[in-house]
Amino acid sequence: MAARMKLKLKTVFVLYFMVSLMGLVYALMQLGQRCDCTEHDMPKDRTISRLRGELHRFQEQIRKSDVTKQPQKLPAKPTIFVITPTYARLVQKAELTRLSQTFLHVPQLHWIVVEDSPHKTPLVSDLLVKSGLAYTHLHMPTAKDRKLQEGDPSWLKPRGVEQRNEGLRWLREDRRAQPGGDNQQGVVYFADDDNTYSLQIFEEMRSTQRVSVWPVGLVGGMKYERPVVEEGKVVRFHTGWRPSRPFPMDMAGFAVSLKLVLANPEACFDGDAPMGFLESSFLQGLVTMDELEPKADNCSKVLVWHTRTEKPKMKREEALQAQGLGSDRAVEV
């Protein structure tokens, strides 16, 4: 009896094992092939086809807008050339990122970025390429004796002079080569990388014939500085600091027409000018006060703010670096 039982059990076992093994092999083979489970795919498939439809729609839109641009005969909007000097520091990438996000909304804008550096840095190059803007990437190092040292107050030496002049030089050279010569439409604006610009200011400055001006917020130790306008003409400037300057304005408070820049090839910023006279050193040779064009609703609205970004505190980082445990340098900040 026991022997028979044993035998039966053994065969049962073997049979069972073989069946299981065959089932396993079958399942493994199934893994390699495409499954026919349509009831699982429905919602995902639908989403994908909807997304594809949208994608194609967008692509068609782009293609159509490209095609319709070709046969244009009417004059284009004047291009705004924005000259931005920049220099490497911790917050540089953040500043340029949010600046580019503002500029991306402005049609016909050409961004001229001039680095204070002996060569173009990959951080700025990559950022400009990814920004989607029309740009020119230049560089011009500031001479050592004119450069602000660590710990110097920001007003000690003028900043961005060589870079803005380099931007002007490139612009003159580039525009000379364009058809239309000195009669080209365009506006030149000097935008620092830490200020805040509303989108309206760019539309206001587009109609500049010679030099247009407007108020600037949070500058000169006041809530705003502005030109005072009477009967459509600028008669004086409302500022709390040295109002006797020829043009007591901030860099962000005026724009110059391209024609004027091309017609005065010698006009540039003077780095030796006394503090606060940088803007005047440029504008003096170009225009007189009564020729200024007031914008922003007769200089009554603030559309640009002279914001400044705090230097981030790096105490812990410096402590770590002293121990050789600083954060990964390969990660770009």
Partner 1 sequence: MPKRRDILAIVLIVLPWTLLITVWHQSAIAPLLAIRKACHHLVKEIFIIPERLAVRHHRLSDDGVEGKREAGGQAQDSKEYCASDKDIVEVVRTEYVYTRPPPWSDVLPTIHIITPTYSRPVQKAELTRLANTFLHVPNLHWILVEDSQRRTPLVTRLLREMGLNYTHLNVETPRNYKLRGDTRDPRIPRGTMQRNLALRWLRETFNANSSQAGIVYFADDDNTYSLELFEEMRSTRKVSVWPVAFVGGLRYESPKVNAAGKVYGWKTVFDPHRPFAIDMAGFAINLRLILFKPQAYFKLRGVKGGYQESSLLRELVTLNDLEPKAANCTKILVWHTRTEKPVLVNEGKKGFTDPNVEI
Residues in the annotated binding site for UDP-alpha-D-glucuronate: 85-87, 116, 159, 164, 192-194, 306-308
Tell me, rounded to whole angstroms, the distance of Cα 47 from its chain centroid: 34
The CB-of-39 to partner 1 minimum distance in angstroms stands at 11
The CB-of-222 to partner 1 minimum distance in angstroms stands at 5
Nearest residue to 243 (alpha-carbon basis) of 254, 231, 251, 235: 235
Catalytic residue, candidates 39, 279, 293, 318: 279
Indicate which single residue of 1, 3, 4, 73 sits in contact with partner 1 (rule: CB under 8 A): 73
**Residue closer to partner 1, measured from CB, 74 or 143:** 74
The CB-of-270 to partner 1 minimum distance in angstroms stands at 25
Residue 245 as a binder of partner 1 (CB under 8 A): the answer is: no
Residue 229 as a binder of partner 1 (CB under 8 A): the answer is: no
Residue 105 as a binder of partner 1 (CB under 8 A): the answer is: yes
In angstroms, the CA 253 to CA 155 distance is 18
279 is catalytic: yes
**Residue closer to partner 1, measured from CB, 94 or 289:** 94
CB-CB contact of 251 with 281 (8 Å): no
- Alpha-carbon distances, residue 103 vs 84, 92, 244 (angstroms): 12, 16, 34
Indicate which single residue of 117, 121, 185, 198 sits in contact with partner 1 (rule: CB under 8 A): 198
Instruction: Give the range of 42-50, 137-145, 156-164, 255-263 binding partner 1 by CB under 8 A.
Output: 42-50
Residue 119 as a binder of partner 1 (CB under 8 A): the answer is: no
- Alpha-carbon distances, residue 75 vs 72, 180, 319 (angstroms): 8, 12, 59
Strand order in the sheet with 196-197: 196-197, 304-305, 216-217, 224-230, 233-238
Q: Which residues, including other chains, have CB under 8 Å from residue 225's CB and lie 6 or more apart?
A: 215, 216, 219, 237, 238, 239, 240, 248, 249, 250, 253
Residues 247-306 within binding reach of partner 1 (CB under 8 A): 300-302, 305-306
Catalytic residues: 279
